[in-house]
Amino acid sequence: MYKSGDKVIILDYNQKPLVPQVVAEIEDVIAEDRVRLKLPDNACCMEFVDRFEKIDEETYNKYLHAVHEREKELPVDLQLDIRKFASKHPRRRKDEIIKMFDRDKRYVSVLNAYTGRAKMYGEENINDRFLFEYKEALYGIVETRTFFHELDDSIKVPELI
């Protein structure tokens, strides 16, 4: 029924596409009822064939483009806010604050991605590389938020670890 290279859209438990939509490519057919999916961020996971449906190349590209749009860098005006924040703390260099903010943004992204995948696929189906990135993000978010908490008491340090 399915073969390597087929494009699919992930379904929720009601057999409707997830919102926002997530697409994948079948990397390998493991059994008649299970396949290995390659997700847009190049991570892979094992999935049952009733959790997705086949889509055409045009639809796949449209949703894949939407995924990449959601992951774009921060808009310039938000970076200007960071510069205003930096101007209030002259003892810190602006590029140091911006670097920490970018790291914080990346860590938040990894944590959110892990949470979503754990809900969709179960923690046992998350690959080791992504699990390593998740653990690194846990420690990293505490580090970056501690940095910002020292500059502004209103920024809370999460207790994730």
Q: Please indicate, yes or no, whether residues 134 and 80 belong to a single structural domain of this protein.
A: yes
Of 69, 103, 123, which marks where a domain is finished? Answer: 69
CATH of the domain at 12: 2.30.30
For all residues of the chain together, what is the average pLDDT?
81
Question: pLDDT digits over 52-78, tens only?
Answer: 999 999 999 998 887 776 665 533 333
Within a domain: 159: no
Supply the pLDDT for residue 59: 93
Domain range enclosing 85: 73-151
Q: What is the pTM of this model?
A: 0.50
Of 69, 88, 120, which marks where a domain is finished? Answer: 69
The pLDDT of 123-137, averaged and rounded, is: 83
Q: How many whole angstroms separate alpha carbon 56 and alpha carbon 73?
A: 29
Question: pLDDT digits over 19-58, tens only?
Answer: 778 899 999 998 888 998 988 877 788 888 988 999 999 9
Within a domain: 156: no
Within a domain: 143: yes
Q: Which residues are registered as beta bridge partners of 28?
A: 36
Nearest C-alpha neighbor of 43 from the set 108, 119, 106, 132: 132
Supply the pLDDT for residue 71: 62
C-alpha pair distances (Å), 46 with each of 55, 124, 133: 19, 10, 19
